[in-house]
Amino acid sequence: MAPIGIIVAMLPEASCLTSAAPEPGVSIHLRPNILMHLCGIGPEHATRGAEQLVARGAHGLLSFGTAGGLAPGLAPGVVLLPGQVETAAGVLCTHEEWRIHVRDRLTAAGLNLAPGNMAEADTVVTTSGQKAALGRQRNAAAVDMESAAVLRVATRHALPALVLRVILDPLEMELPAFVLRQSDNFGRANLPGLVLDLLRAPARLPALLQVNRAFRAATRTMRSVGRNLHDLHPGHDALTRPR
C-alpha cells in the first residue's frame, strides 16, 4: 500500500504518534505505509519537511498538530478536519474523500470533531483580539502556521493532502509571551528559563497553568489519534484517484 507522509511541527505533537524519539528534520516510519517528519514551527520548515516526505515516496501528505481557535465554542482537545485552508492568496482545498474517511473513523473512535476551515498565519496569533479579527477576515474556525505550506507542496506534486488539527488555545485564551519565549522551534520548553520567569514575576503562574491544562487536553486527543494511526491512511484507491 502506498505510504502517506505526516508533517508535524513540534516534538510534543510528534510524541503523541510514536513512542520513539523523533529526530528534528528527519523522516521516520511509524508504520510500513506511514511516514512522519518532525519539521519545526513555520511554513518554511513545513515546506522542507513535506518535500522530503515526497522524495521518500509519500503518495499523500497530512498536516498534523495543534491549532489556535478563532471561533467561539472550540475547547482544547477538539479536532478539526477542514475542507479548506484560507490564505491571503486564496483557498487551498484538502482531499474530500480522505477527509470523510478519517472523519468517520475518528468519530467512531469517540473523538470530538467540529466543523470549520483553517486560516494560515506566518506568525503565532497570541491574543483574543487578533484571533477574532483573523477568524472574521478569513471566515475560519482555527489557525496554524504549517498546513497551507503542506497543501502547496501537495498541489505542486499533484498529491492528495489532509489537515488534522487539535485545538490548543481557544479563542478566549491568550498565549503568554514568556511561554513562547521559553520554547524552541520544535516546541521544547526551556524549564530553567520558565522557572526564572516565574520567580521574577509570580503573577504569571495562573497563565502558565492555563496553558498547561489546555495542552494536556490537546495531548489526550492527539494520543487518541496516535492509538488509531491506521485510520489516518485513506487506502490505496484514494491515493491513486484524482483529487
- What local confidence, expressed as pLDDT, does residue 147 receive? 98
User: Which residues, at least 6 apart from 145, have a Cβ–Cβ distance to it below 8 Å?
Assistant: 9, 41, 42, 43, 46, 120, 121, 122, 123, 124
pLDDT per position as a tens digit, 207-236? 999 999 999 999 999 999 999 888 888 875
Domain span including residue 194: 4-240
Q: Are 42 and 64 in contact (CB under 8 A)?
A: no
CATH of the domain at 63: 3.40.50.1580
Look at the chain and report how many structural domains it folds into. Answer: 1
**Rounded to whole angstroms, how far apart are CA atoms 167 and 143?**
9
Region at 241 (left for phi over 0; alpha for psi -120 to 50; beta for the rest): beta
pLDDT per position as a tens digit, 95-152? 999 999 999 999 999 999 999 999 999 999 999 999 999 999 999 999 999 999 999 9
Residue type, 208: L
